[in-house]
Every structure is written in structure tokens, then in C-alpha cells.
Homo-oligomer: A and B are copies of this chain.
Amino acid sequence: MDTISFARGVPAPECLPIEDLADCARTAIERDGASTLLYGHTLGYQPLREWIAERHGVDPARVIVTNGSLQAFHFVFLALGDGRRVIVERPTYDRPRKILSGFGEVSVDDDGLDLDELERVLAGGSQPAFLYTIPTFQNPTGVTLSEERRRRLAELATVRSLRVLEDDPYGLVRFEGEPLPTLFELEGGTNVIYSSSFSKTIAPGLRVGYVLVPEEVAAGLEDIVASTYITPALVGQATVLEFLRRGLLAPNLERVRGLLGARRDAMLEALERDLAGRARWSQPEGGYFLWLELPDGTDATELLGRASAAGVTFVPGPDFGGVPNSARLAFSFASPAEIDEGVSRLAALVPAAAAV
């Protein structure tokens, strides 16, 4: 019996446009090898910076293209951290939690970050270096910050000169509902730094992430970037640009949304069938993940041990700062049939409900 993974936050291999990317890489190197194969601009492949700048309506000098957006998080933290506290969501993406040695936390509910709690946290201490938030299809919960809260947070950022790092890797992977404005769009990019990548829209192995920063931050980042890796990996960046220029992003997104939307549907249906009344889960409109709250008293970390033995895996909520009875289920990787079977296996291990 093969193990079914709800742990891996990676796309199913069917999502990858392998043939197109192979041809784009060949073209990108042939056409501009003298740029992509030498050391290029520290802040990224210039024509891709320009494409991103145009898409977001900013000056190219504000665009920094990195080897994946986690590396961008590092750079922003190095540039702005300055020994001050960073505020993160609880729960949040586990890798930034590991990078930050200490941080403050603010809860997430079904509408995203709890802004009342944020205001209390801000009032109760010194100005933080920045707030790190994933407003859309959050990792790990799959929830999305409501439009009302987005407007309020953008306002708060302006009024309090609060730097916000808006991480938005999943925003374009929407299966239903209308796209919401980003914090960056609402606030204008004075205090909000916007981070995204092509990992979820094209392919993660290309390692092409980017960040939009105020110009004065970009200048400071250039030294940090140069001292880290001289120049990012340009072949992947040029391959992405070729993919974009050929107009392949929109049809690829359509395809990816279809593939992943079907997986989300399969997971929601199986959960309803097998765990209704015993657990709660989020209802993501896009992205890779949903958040499962198991009956009170369940220890998700202990459950994982038994689940692995039964052929299904997930990531326990505490890895993200969540409560002991929570878990992140990724629906991005397994097939709909595997998801159906995996939820069955998992549900068989979950105790009958206390009050959920």
C-alpha cells in the first residue's frame, strides 16, 4: 500500500508544463546566452524585472528577483530586521518561523488575520520591524483575509507606518470567487512589501521568486544580495520570461486551477463524508492547503505516527504554531482518487467527536 501524502506542499507532477519549459529554456539560452550564462544583475534578470514591474505598475528598480521567495524573505529580514521583533500569523508558514529567532504572533480565523488582536499587540510593545502575512489561501490554513480586513490593514499600515511583508504565492491559484485586491495595491507600496513567485503558477524547481520593495530598501538590499550569491540563477529567470512572453501563463493557470480545484473538491467531499460532526476544516477557495481541527484532546503529532503506519501523512498543526489538535492537509499533490482513499484512512483513526 503506497503512502498517500497530504504533507507535501508541492504541485502534482501533472501541473508541470514540462515540454513548454524545455523549449523555453532552450530558446532563452540561445537568444540571450551572453546575459543568462554570465553573471547578470544582482537583483535579477533585467527583462524579467521589467515584465514584473509592468504587471504590478511599479518601477523596475523596485523589483528584486530571487532564487525563490524564501530567499527574498531572508533578504527582507536582513535589511529590515535590525534586532526588532517581527509579527507573524498564528499559525503561519513554518520556514519563516525557523528563520526568525523570536517573533510575536497574532491569530488567524476564518477571515484571516485578527486585526483587533493585531492592534492590541502593536499597542503593547515597540514598533515591530514588520508584520509577515499571507493574506490569500494562507499557508497553512487556506483561509483568505476578507476585503474589509484588507482595507483596514492597509489603513493601519499607513497610519502607523507599519511595514507589512505580504507574501502572495498562491493568489493566482484561485478555483472560485472573485480575486481580492492585494494589500500592496490598497496601500500603494509605501509600507507594504509584496512577495510572490512563479513556483505555484509555473514550476517550483525553477526557483524564481520576487519581491517589490520601496526604492530605498532596494538600494540597501543590493549589497546583501551581492554578498549572498553574487547573482541569482538566471537561466530559470530567462526561462520564466520566455514562458510569459509566449503567452503560456494564462492557459497554464487555467489548467493548474482545474487540476487542483478537482483535488480540493475531492478532499472537501471526503471530509464531509467521513468526518462531519467530528472535525472542522477550512473552505479554501484556492491554493494548496486546508486546515483541519480535530476533536479536542486529539494530539495531531501523535496521530501522525499512527496515520503514517496506516498509509497517509500530513503536517501537524504545531509545526506552524497551531494548536495540538490541528493539522495541515495539502490537496495539491495526491490525485482525487488518492485523496478520497487518504481521507478514509485518516478518518478511521480520528476518535468519535467530543464537542468540536
Chain A positions near chain B (C-beta within 8 angstroms): 10-11, 13, 16, 18-19, 21-23, 25-27, 29-30, 33-40, 67-68, 70-71, 74, 95, 98-99, 203-207, 223, 226-236, 239
Contact = CB atoms under 8 A, between A and B. Distances in A.
Contacts of A204: 37-39, 231
Given A11-B38, A16-B37, A37-B204, A228 B26 contact: no
Query: In the complex this chain forms, how many copies of it are found?
Result: 2
Contacts of A70: 227-230
Contacts of A99: 227
Contact of A33 (B16, B35, B39, B207): B16
Contact of A38 (B13, B30, B67, B98): B13
B34 A30 contact: no
Contact of A10 (B18, B39, B223): B39
Given A21-B29, A25-B25, A74-B228, 14 more contacts: A16-B38, A18-B30, A18-B33, A21-B33, A21-B37, A22-B30, A23-B26, A25-B29, A37-B205, A37-B206, A67-B207, A70-B228, A205-B234, A207-B229
Contact of A205 (B19, B74, B205, B235): B235
Contacts of A40: 205
A195 B173 CA distance: 40
A92 to B, nearest CB: 15
A67 B25 CA distance: 18
B39 A205 contact: yes
B38 A18 contact: no
Given A71-B228, A95-B227, A22 B18 contact: no
Q: Is the interface of A mostly helix, strand, loop or mixed?
A: helix
Contacts of A230: 68, 70, 95
A239 B229 contact: no
A16 B34 contact: yes
Interface centre among A35, A95, A203, A232 (most CB of B within 10 A): A203
A325 to B, nearest CB: 27
Nearest to A40: B205
Contacts of A229: 67-68, 70-71, 207
Nearest to A8: B39
A236 B13 CA distance: 19
A34 B22 contact: no
Counting from the closest, the 9 A-B pairs by CB-CB distance are A18-B33, A233-B233, A26-B26, A37-B203, A22-B29, A37-B205, A25-B25, A207-B233, A22-B30
Contacts of A232: 67, 207, 233
Given A26-B26, A236-B236, A36 B205 contact: yes
Given A207-B231, A227-B99, A233-B236, A18 B34 contact: yes
A34 B19 contact: no
Contacts of A68: 229-231
A30 B10 CA distance: 19
Contacts of A206: 37, 233, 235
A232 B226 CA distance: 17
Contacts of A207: 67, 229, 231-234
20 contacts: A10-B38, A11-B38, A16-B33, A18-B30, A18-B37, A25-B26, A25-B29, A37-B203, A37-B204, A38-B203, A67-B229, A67-B232, A67-B233, A68-B230, A98-B227, A204-B231, A205-B233, A206-B233, A207-B232, A235-B239
